[in-house]
Every structure is written in C-alpha cells, then in structure tokens.
Structure 1
C-alpha cells in the first residue's frame, strides 16, 4: 500500500487527478475485500480455516513476480538505501508486548506483575524508538514530518479509525457466526454489501466531494456515518435479523469508509514534498496497522471482560457473548467519534492542493 500511494503521488501531480487515482485505489481495496470475504467463506466451508492463509501464498508470489516485471527498478538520484534496524526492532517489540499484555490482561489481571511489566517494557521500548528516530540519520519514521499539521492529524485519525474498523470486522464476524449461527460462507456473503458500498463511494463520490468541499467535510461526514453504524451494531440483539439489525449498520459503515478513506490519504500525503511521499505513505500505513492491532486487542479484551462478568452473574452464554460484543462496538463508535473530532478540529480543509514548500 505504501509503495502504491507513493507512486500515485509521483504520477498524478494535479489535485483532481490525484483524488480520482486515490478513489480508484480505494475501489480496488474494497473489491479485494469483497473477493477475500467471499473466498474466505468458500474455502472454510469446503476445506478448513487454514486455507484462508494458504491461498495467499500463490497470490503473494504472483504479486512479487508482476512487481519485478512491471515496476521500474530505478530510484531517485542522490537517495541512499539503509534500513533503520534499531527503529524497526524497537517499535515492533513495543507493539508486540503491548498487544500481548492487553490480550492477556483479563486472565492475568490488569494490576498483576506480569501485565504491568509487559506494559512498562512496551512503553520503554517506544521511548527508545522515539529517541532513535530523533538521532539516526535515516530514520524509519522521520519525526520532523509530524510538524505538518494535516499529516499529523491524518495519522491520529488513522490510528483511531483503524482501531474501530479492525475490531468491528473481527467481532461482527464472531457475532454473525456464534450468536446468530451463520456458516462461514454466510458470514462472507454478509460482508459483501459493506465492501460494495465502499467501492462505489471510493470510485464515484469521494473524489468529487473532496474537490468541491476540501478534505475536512467529507472526512467528518464519513466518520459520522461509521459512528452511526457502530452504534447500531451496539444495540444488535442476540436474536437479531440480517435485514433489520445487520444490513443497515453495514451499509452505513461501507458508506462512511468509502467517503472518508480518500480524504485521510490525501491529508496525509498532499503536504509533503515529492521526495518524502514514500515516507509519508509508509507512516500512514503504519498508523493504520498499529491502530488496528491495538484497537482489536483493547476492544476484544473489553468484550471478553463484559462477557465474563455476565457469565459470573448467571447470564445465558449467548446473551453474555452478545453483550460483550455490544460493549466493544460501543467502544469502536467512541474511537470513530474521536477520529471525527480530530479531523474536524485540526485538519485544514483546503490543503488538498498544498505541498510543503509550495506557495
């Protein structure tokens, strides 16, 4: 994704063309999500869940082969290749320890020595990472880029939004399969409307909204749709129906993602100089991945904690599970609302055509 976004920035210099190109990028991502959800259900039904991972091996090999054959091998003159090993190791270890501590917090106890040690170690490693990035000549994440207002805000939005969406995708699949009794194939089919709406909005609507209103209004409206969808999921009953309790919030989430995806990317990328487009795209991708991993860990732990409390009080198993999922969806709605607030308060709406150093 980071490489693709960097290529879009370099190849499409006009704001309108870039908005359309990013819309196509979002459309392709959504189409891939639809195919993946359906294929995952088919493979799980026909074989077992291991195949949803194994099928990616030949796809990955094909992508590598096509990239080697089609993408230019050259690089910009004067650039230097050097991997920030210390930065990569410290931030990866920090994220792993934090996620492990959060996922196991309910079992080990949040005030236990193990949990506190893991969280403390993760915090210390994050501090080491930031110190390293401030001093190393070719950092993994140049901290100076965060002086760009829209890029900094876009990364915060990306963390919060990914936290909500990753957790929703995982926990809603569990809700459909465990609480409502759907088969893996039915779960895959249930997600298709979300991806289709997202694809249509990314390709045909989002770019036009950005060109007419700037970055901020479409971003806030899209995230507001996501908040509404998550709030509807937070009230979905244990005996819910697809037409009344699942489809409406899924359509809202697809609409919100399709409208907001393009503005987030443009906010993160359009203020940087062309030479830094690869770094900016890498940073925003990292923010999405980190937010998704941490958000899933936190909200899944929140769901598990709520379920355990209700089971201890004698609640029926499915009702307790559903209440846990509802609590997590409510937490996801809060994350999306915070993302909308950050975008609305801190982003410059008309920065779509500006780059650092331009007048």
Structure 2
C-alpha cells in the first residue's frame, strides 16, 4: 500500500469528521480553488458549443468537421481521466492540480492563436488533457479536506460549476462572439487560469507523498485508448444517424474489447495497483451510486442538449436568448443543492436522492406536453422544477459513493465516478441526438406552421424517453444509504 499524502489526509480544517458540522473557513478556501478550476473547465465546453457555427464560416468547414472541436476535447478528457487517480497518488494533488490548470490555460492560448481548423482541434486536445484532470482532482481534494461526515456539503459546493457552466456558457459565448470575436471564448480562460494558479499555490496544502506505486502500463494501454475509441464511435452516431455505420461500430467495438480486456487484468491478484481499482465495486454503496449516476447522467445530460435546440429551432431564439431562458433551471438547483448536501450528511443521501429524482421526473414529464407554442411561463416553471430536483440528486449520489472511502482510495473513487459520468453523458447525448434526428425526419408538412407543430411534437416524444429514464433512476436510488455516513471502516475496504 502506498503511504499517501499524510498532510493531505489531515487537511486544513481537520477533515475526517473531526472539524465539527459546518464547513470551516479553511475548507471553504480549498473549495474556492476547486470551484474556480471547475468553472473554467465546464464553462469552456458550453462556451465553445456556441461558436460552432462561427467556426464553420471562419474555416469554411462543414458542421461534421467543426464538431471535432468538441469531439477532440471529449476524447482527450476520456483518455486522461483514468490516469488522474494514479498521478494524484504518485505526485500529490496540489502539484497535479497546478499542472492541470497550466495545461488548460496553455491549450486555451493556443486555441485562440489557431489559424486553421486542424490546429484548433489539436489545441483543443491539449485543453482536454488539462480539463480532464480538474474535476476528479477537485473531488479528491475536497473530499479529503472535509472528511466523510461533510462530504455531502462539499459535493454541493463542487456542483456549482456543473450548474453555472451550462447556464452561463451560452450567454457568455454568444456575448463574446457578438462584441469581439471567437478568439475571446478561449482568451477568457487566461485571466481565470492565472488567478486559479496563484490561488491554488497559496491555499492548497503542501504535498507530502512517498511514491511507491508502480505504473500500470498495461492498464493505460488498454483503458485510455479503449475509452477514447468507444466514445469516438458513440459521438459519431449523431453524424451518421445510425449505430450500424462502420464509423460507429468499428471504433466502438474496438473500444469495448479493450475495456473488456482491462477488467480481468485489473482484477488479477498480482495486480495490486491497477490503473482503475475495480475492487472498489465490492463497496456496495459505491456500486449502487455508480449505477444511479450512469442512468442519471444518460438521461439528464442527454436531454439537456434538447432545450437549446428547441428554443433555437422551434421558437427561433438566438443562442444568447436560449442561454437566458435556461437560467431558471440553474436557479432551482442552486436553491436545493446546499440544503440537499447538508441533509445528506445528516440523514444519508438515499431519501434526498429519491425526492430529487421524483421532482426531476415531474419537471421532465411536463416537457412531454411541449408544443410549438407552449407558453414560456410553463417552460420556465418546468425548468425550475427540474433544477430543484437536480440540486437534490446529482451531487448526493456522488457523495454517497465517496463518503465510504478511506483517504488513499478517494482519488481512485473520484476518478471512477468521473469516468462513469463522462461515458454515460456521451451515450445519452448520442441517444437523444439520434432520437430527435429520426423524429424530425418524419416531418412532411408543407406550411411553416405545420412544420413547427410537428417539430414541437418530435421534441415532446424525445422528452418522454428522458422522463422514463429519469424515473428508472429511482430503482438504484432506493438502495442508497438512508443513514448518516460514518467514517469509513478500514477493514471494510478492499483492494489496498
């Protein structure tokens, strides 16, 4: 077993549950570092999505070609996330966090300087390598800082960038492109990155590691390209319109074979330090949380792409106005997230998540009645209700997984949860893109009003699938712990 980051295990604020019930100032300072990095990473994804049409005009490219600016980032993310747990154990979370921020900022500067689409895609990959480490590292840093008794509250803090990114990304991106140029959607990351670097250098505790873990070369050669190939195939589904195209099947199958080959390798008794510790699945609470997170990410993140498309394609709104219309969802989540985090720590995440899933299902169900002229009051109300549910669901699920882990397994557990979320969100995005595309194909009306009506019906049908998927999340949610989380029992953990 590696002797890990002794000072990090006893972080500022006296994590590990001995610091009292509230998040003290030192833990909140550490949380500020993590939130800043998370905002920088997640905001960038949604900001760039607004610039896709601009990239088409600027580089005289097709929509499929400019989509690589998103796909390249996602593939880099998927490739680097598995390495994060090992690297955090090996080099320390502070050093790695500073490297991730610097890499992301450098990639942003290079993207702004790109003069061809090929260069932009290549530099987006560099961005993705930095961005992919920020969220799992943030989870690790915050969980260690606060301890298991307060992990629900720190997960609520970590949820802030996940909420703000999708809301303010389109608004910020549209505004920057309108008043300046597309280069500024990348240049905006430089001052944020500089502040994050200085902030992290001053606030994060010094790394004290005794590196002894060997690097799992076989694991990285199987898992990282396996995830990248699989996600490449899945992300090609919207472009091809079918899962049976060679562009989808060949990389996806290769990816699945590589990932499948990783499983027995990681579980070999002789492999005491696998790249991803699959023995963590012997922890019941973590396993249930992973299943719940998979279903939730597929449904929620997949369906999230439908909202701006509905506003723009059916209602004729601009990207900027679409972002503003989505704000009620974030407001709802920001109301319930801190309350849910506090209650999850006190009574366990199970009851909180069940309530949140029911509320999201109600909100998503309201969208099954969508038409081309549904009142904005109705839509805003539905989005607000969904936000209330999301704030009580997503981060408590993650908290239930991480709260039972010991210090030296937190990095591996947070890495595992981020891989699951990334893969599930990509699958959900592809699924709902194909469902919507196929639904819009059947539109045959000749008049503009008739087309709009049928488009509204197509969106409503896809939202029905999303509502059913969200409702299915209740099954694993019923198995989440409904008790106050206690410090992890070292004899209960396996794999180390």
Please, what TM-score do these two structures have when normalized by structure 2?
Answer: 0.64
Instruction: Work out whether residues 170 and 319 of structure 2, in 8 Å CA contact, stay in contact via their aligned partners in 1.
Output: no
Inter-CA distance 208–61: structure 2 relative to 1 (3 Å threshold): closer
Q: CA deviation at 1:54?
A: 5.2
Structure 1 residue 187 corresponds to structure 2 residue 322: yes
Is the aligned partner of 1:5 residue 2:139? yes
Equivalences for 1:70-89 in 2 at 5 Å?
A: 70-80=203-213, 82=215, 84-86=219-221, 87-89=223-225
The answer to whether the 8 Å contact 1:45/1:184 transfers is: no
| Structure 1 equivalent of residue 461 of structure 2 | 327
Which residue of the partner structure matches residue 336 of structure 2?
Answer: 201
Q: Is the 8 A contact 2:370 2:457 kept in 1?
A: no
Structure 1 unaligned segments of length 5 or more: list them. Answer: none
Partner of 1:252: 385
Decide whether the 8 Å contact of 1:227 with 1:333 is kept in 2: yes
Of the three residues 24, 27, 30, the one matched with 2:157 is 24
Partners of 1:150 and 1:242 in 2: CA distance: 40
The 1:119–1:18 alpha-carbon spacing in structure 2 relative to 1, beyond 3 Å, is: closer
TM-score, with structure 1 as normaliser: 0.86
Alignment deviations for residues 310-341 of structure 1 (CA, whole Å, 9 cap, x no partner)? 34999943334333322322222222112222
Mark the CA change 1:137 to 1:54 in structure 2 (over 3 Å): closer, same or farther. Answer: farther
1:129 is displaced (CA, Å) by 3.2
Q: Deviations over 1:57-83 (max 9, x none)?
A: 553454345434543452433553736
How many aligned positions are there?
Answer: 352
Superposed, 1:246-325 pairs within 5 Å as 246-311=379-444, 316-325=450-459
CA distance in structure 1 between the aligned counterparts of 2:289 and 2:148, rounded to whole angstroms: 21
How much has 1:49 moved relative to structure 2? 6.2
Partners of 1:177 and 1:184 within 8 A in 2: yes
* CA offset digits 1:241-278 (Å, max 9, x no partner): 2112x111111111011111332121110121211001
Q: Equivalent residues in 2 for 1:1-359 (5 A)?
A: 1-13=135-147, 15=149, 17-27=150-160, 29-47=162-180, 51-53=184-186, 55-56=188-189, 58-60=191-193, 62-64=195-197, 66-68=199-201, 70-80=203-213, 82=215, 84-86=219-221, 87-100=223-236, 102-106=237-241, 109-111=242-244, 115-135=248-268, 136-203=271-338, 205-244=339-378, 246-311=379-444, 316-344=450-478, 346-350=479-483, 352-357=485-490
CA distance in 1, matches of 2:280, 2:373: 49
SS in structure 2 at match of 1:182? coil
Residues 234 and 248, structure 2, Cα contact 8 Å, conserved in 1: no
What's the offset of the Cα at 1:48?
6.1
- Measure the CA separation in 1 of the matches of 2:235 and 2:261: 18
How many Å apart are 1:134 and its aligned residue? 3.0
Q: How far apart are residue 143 of structure 1 and its match?
A: 0.8
Tell me how far apart the structure 2 counterparts of residues 93 and 64 of structure 1 sit (CA, whole Å): 32
Over aligned residues, Cα RMSD in angstroms?
2.9
